[in-house]
Amino acid sequence: MYIAKENRYEKMTYNCCGRSGLKLPALSLGMWHNFGSVNDVENMKKILFTAFDNGITHFDLANNYGPVYGSAEANMGRILKSDLMPYRNEMIISSKAGYDMWKGPYGNGGSRKYLIASLDESLKRMGIDYVDIFYHHRPDPETPLEETMAALDQIVRSGKALYVGISNYNREQTSKAYEILQKQGTPFVIHQPRYSMLDRWIEEDGLKDFLFENGIGCIAFSPLAQGVLTGKYLTGIPKDSRIGSGKSPYLHEKDLDTEKLEKVRRLDEIAKERGQSLTQLALSWILRDGKVTSVLIGASRPEQILENIKALENTSYSEEELKKIDEILN
């Protein structure tokens, strides 16, 4: 039986999620990859225990994380039951619905029918009564935004989620959702966008500043650009990488053009000057200005958790460093 370390909260940084009282660790564990039916349960346990032992209290899931769909939540449920349930009150567990989950017209999107049914199934898979945060995973142009936001409000009022959030909405869509949720009095506390040194659309779109100015938390996913910002591709494509295995639908060899690799090489030089790995640079850069609440990291082995946490040792940047980085990225 797992027993958590007594000193687990000593080194982690916790940030308030916007203007709410909810605090998230500066690094959260995403379970998008490596927690499906094709993965080893004992390794999953090692990853989760290492994260929790080092103050990572937030575990991020979605209904269709796997493969197969639902298997990441089912595995989380098994590990909660066997080891982690005594610590449930110390954990933030989040889930989402919005993308493809089951066959037919009610298996994706933003309808009340889909969102409420999906969350009910997620709770069954994890063996818990509520999630701490429930997200609508993506905008749905076929469903009125008012219906989607009303469903999120109902979910909170039913006790099945404590807070709600949205993901993959742009600034304009977020502003409209915010207005509706404000009127309803729904605890809308967080937005989960894609954000990395190589993908800064939330800065260009104005979303990042909108969230900060309106007291909404921001948690970044894909902070390492699907592994490109780990530096693993600087000397070629490893066979066991996402590109090398050919299993990633999000990253392909054609995405690693000469220009992008040159940027990564120059960023790696700055990381070395700061005494960081490229991974640590990429994570700490996202947290540099205090406008991002937490960064979602993934891991295929526990050692990666420890490597990533070291990024928090130095999240401050000089004006000269920021200027150099901007020159590279631009």
Instruction: Report pLDDT digits (tens) over 45-87.
Output: 999 999 999 999 999 999 999 999 999 999 999 999 999 999 9
Query: Tell me, what's the pLDDT at 248?
Result: 57
Quick one: which of 107, 122, 194 has its CA closest to 155?
A: 122
Cα Dmax for the chain: 54
Closest CA to 148 of 122, 190, 120, 114: 114
- 254 confidence band (pLDDT: 50, 70, 90): low
- Rounded to whole angstroms, the Cα distance separating 195 from 18 reads 18
96: three-class secondary structure by DSSP? strand
pLDDT (mean) for 282-300: 98
249 pLDDT more than 80 = no
Taking all residues of the chain, what is their mean pLDDT, rounded to a whole number?
95
Residue with tokens 């796997």: 66
pLDDT tens-digit series, residues 153-195: 999 999 999 999 999 999 999 999 999 999 999 999 999 999 9
Determine the Cα–Cα distance for residues 221 and 218; give it in Å rounded to an integer. Answer: 10
- Cα separations in angstroms, 252 against 68, 271, 292: 22, 25, 28
305 SS3 class: helix
**Cα–Cα distance measured from residue 293 to residue 57, given in angstroms and rounded to the nearest whole number:** 14
State the pLDDT at residue 161: 99
Q: 244: pLDDT confidence band, cut at 50, 70 and 90?
A: very low
Residue 239 has pLDDT above 90, yes or no: no
Q: Which pLDDT does position 129 carry in this prediction?
A: 98
Task: Say whether pTM exceeds 0.85.
Answer: yes
3-class DSSP assignment, residue 134: strand
What Cα–Cα distance (Å) separates residue 271 from each residue in 179, 222, 285? 41, 19, 10
Per-residue pLDDT of 100-154, as tens digits, reads 999 999 999 999 999 999 999 999 999 999 999 999 999 999 999 999 999 999 9
Q: In the CATH hierarchy, which fold is given to the domain comprising 14-234+282-318?
A: TIM Barrel (3.20.20)
Q: Quick one: which of 71, 53, 60, 56 has its CA closest to 30?
A: 60
**What is d(CA 114, CA 148) in angstroms, rounded to the nearest whole number?**
10
- At residue 5, the pLDDT reads 98
Whether 202 shows a pLDDT value over 50: the answer reads yes
The residue count of the chain comes to: 330
pLDDT of residue 209 exceeding 60, the answer is yes
**What pLDDT is attached to residue 257?**
81
Listed by start position, the domains of the chain span: 14-234+282-318
**Tokens 């000469």, residue?**
258
pLDDT band of 233, cuts 50, 70, 90: confident
Please give the single-letter amino acid code of residue 278: L
Distance CA 134, CA 190 (A): 10
pLDDT, average across residues 225-242: 76
* Measured distance CA(308)–CA(27) in Å, rounded: 8
